[in-house]
Amino acid sequence: MKLIIVESPAKSKTISKILGKDYKVIASMGHIRDLPKNSIGIDIENNFTPKYQIAKDKKDLVKNIKENISKSDSVYIATDEDREGEAIGWHIVELSNLHSGDFKRITFHEITPNAIKNAVLNPRDLDLNLIDAQKTRRILDRLVGYLISPIIGKMIYKGLSAGRVQSATLKLIVDREREIEKFIKEEYWTIDADCQSNNEDIKFKAILSENDGYIYKDRDIKTKLEAEKILEKVDKNNFYVENLFSKKLEKSPKPPFITSTLQQIASRILGFSSSKTMSLAQKLYEGISIDGEISGLITYMRTDSVFISEVAINSARDFISNNFGEKFLPKIKNIYKTKDKTAQEAHECIRPTYINKTPDFLKKYLTRDEFRLYELIWSRFLASQMSNAIFDKSTIKLRSNKTIWISSGEIKKFDGYLKVYKIDDINKDIVLPNVKIGEKINILDINTKQHFTEPPSRYTESSLIKTMEKNGIGRPSTYATTISNITKRNYIKIEEKKLVPEKLGIEVIDFLERFFPKIVNIEFTAEMEESLDDVASGKKNWIDILKTFYSPFSLDIKNAKEALPEKELKKFGEVCPKCGSDLVYRKSRFGEFVGCSAYPKCKYIHKTEDKINEEKEVLGVCPKCGKDLVKKRSRFGEFIACSGYPDCKYSKNLEEKDLGVCPECGKKLVVKFGKRGKFVACSGYPDCKHIEKYKK
């Protein structure tokens, strides 16, 4: 028997069907061992040696893997071809006491018959540099999280945590909020003219560009008085065409998706969170059943390379030629180069495995969201191999006395790649009249408009990922997890798709900026990522990286501990029934509670919240148990709940305004909360699944 070990059960099913009965394919279910949860698990004095442990829920699985290995003629490690996958494979080899020659390492970028069979025929050794890079990242993250988090717990409250990448990401969001708070809006004015040619009915708009030799820049006209003084010198009856310009514009297709760009566009166009995008992409990669045959529909989705295989390019060109015609096919193949010099996580872009499997063909086999994401990936890849879109851009330069006015128009002459990738087709033809130099132009009106500068926008998931990528914070495979973590920990909230820092998140950043400035320093975080890339490529030694980091970091830890004041806890007025110590008010991420002052020796928690709720506004009586209803808060916002929680779990929405009735079944519409915030839904759920966008 030939044994293949992969990471996920879905992937094992697909590969098993491809290779047939001569192979047995089993899944490791991700990592089978890791650093322990209850201790730092790193021997710092002994060159940062990690002390790995098998997870309790993986012990039977490890036993099963070992038994299958012992019964097999050949063993293939087929975990993902990135740092995490390489490390998972290494852990399997180590725990199974396999030596070089006892196993074969195989990799593939797509789960298709040709790719899998080719991988089996072309095995390689485990990449120790990738393994060292993953180990270094894991140790760094453990050092930061394990050593800083307890200090934050004492400074703010227990249960908070700090992560190496998540802290730098949170700082971006907090810094943007501070920019918005400090922003002072500035007034400015623009001047334009509504024009019409004497020979045609076409109306067009011209913008003031120059006055008495001065060329206006954005926001140059500061006040209404300035605008009015300019208009005093303009003769509406003396506008004529001073010059004409015309040129052909070509817009080139974008390269196929990599992890970061897929997450950005899926967020902007489809409204998907980065974690949802990656979850859906994982399913498309691992395989979908099509008439009983399971096949992977896209290539590996954790990649920062835009490279496309020659086979995939030729398949796309054949498809374009057959379905759109030769004019949509560039004479020279479109080849893209990865801009990021550190790109190394995989060797191909994200693309469909079979270009002939069009979105329309697959629609009946996919869920709605799987279809939408596949359509995005398919169209972006196909468009990347198509001809440029062509536009005609015309400019009319008008003069009136000493003022110059500019009018520009753009007309699409050839769709090119926009025929397929329609989300880039935002052009609206702006038609200008056929005029001649020297021709007089009728001015219908001259408009002055007041504007105010806008503060920088809060980050969306899309813009945050773009900024993280630009600044080298984390890597594509970590973006979704990082954003998810700081949301779950109530450091940020999502309002109308914007990322807003919570008070707690701001407190954490204030603390880190004071005691651990390097941890939230964007440049330092980026340099650390580059160092990890150097380990992965064999340029640097992983122990040297950790030593360089830990020496100043340990001093910061020492200074932070010495600077922390002893926090006095407010007494509750009763003693602990378990040990006799005073009961005190404490805080957690879930709010205020009463607990024993002898914690952690005594972990008694006072379940009665009556005294805490005395200061809270009573909003009614619980219809279930008769206790007071009070206002509470979760990461989705405020709501009304019973003060007797957790004995009574009654809750309702804070807002009770009349939202009307469901257009599908006639029942009452209510406000609900989801991962992306508030929405309106039918109260008859799950019988009726009607939903609407929430409007304030």
Are 624 and 648 contacting, i.e. CB atoms less than 8 angstroms apart?
A: yes
Identify the H or E element spanning 11. Answer: helix 9-19
Distance of CA 276 to CAs 279, 660, 676, Å? 5, 31, 11
| Whether residue 645 lies in the annotated active site | no
Q: Which of 23, 76, 285, 300 is catalytic?
A: 300
Are 135 and 536 contacting, i.e. CB atoms less than 8 angstroms apart?
A: no
User: For the residues of 469-518, what is the DSSP string, one character each?
Assistant: HHHT-S-HHHHHHHHHHHHHTTSEEEETTEEEE-HHHHHHHHHHHHH-TT
User: For the residues of 524-560, what is the DSSP string, one character each?
Assistant: HHHHHHHHHHHHHTTSS-HHHHHHHHHHHHHHHHHHH
Q: How many CB atoms lie within 10 A of CB 225?
A: 10
- CA dist 652 and 623 (Å) reads 11
- CA dist 576 and 7 (Å) reads 49
The beta strand positions in 30-120, using DSSP E, are 33-34, 42-43, 49-50, 53-54, 74-77, 104-105
- CA dist 182 and 230 (Å) reads 33
- CA dist 157 and 508 (Å) reads 10
Among residues 410, 650, 538, 469, the alpha carbon closest in space to that of 132 is found at: 538
Among residues 605, 615, 608, the alpha carbon closest in space to that of 647 is found at: 608
User: How wide is the angle at C-alpha 285 spanned by C-alphas 468 and 424, nearest 5°?
Assistant: 55
Residues in Cβ contact with 449 at an 8 Å cutoff, skipping those fewer than 6 apart: 189, 190, 191, 192
Signed CA dihedral, 365, 368, 372, 373: sign only: negative
Among residues 252, 268, 249, the alpha carbon closest in space to that of 260 is found at: 268
Structure tokens at 542: 């992983």
- CA dist 492 and 295 (Å) reads 39
Partnered with residue 288 across adjacent β-strands are 295
Are 6 and 77 contacting, i.e. CB atoms less than 8 angstroms apart?
A: no
**In the chain, helix, strand, coil percent, each to 5?**
35, 25, 40
Partnered with residue 78 across adjacent β-strands are none
Q: How many CB atoms lie within 10 A of CB 115?
A: 18
- CA dist 559 and 517 (Å) reads 13
2-6 vs 23-27, strand pairing mode: parallel
Q: Which residues are catalytic?
A: 300
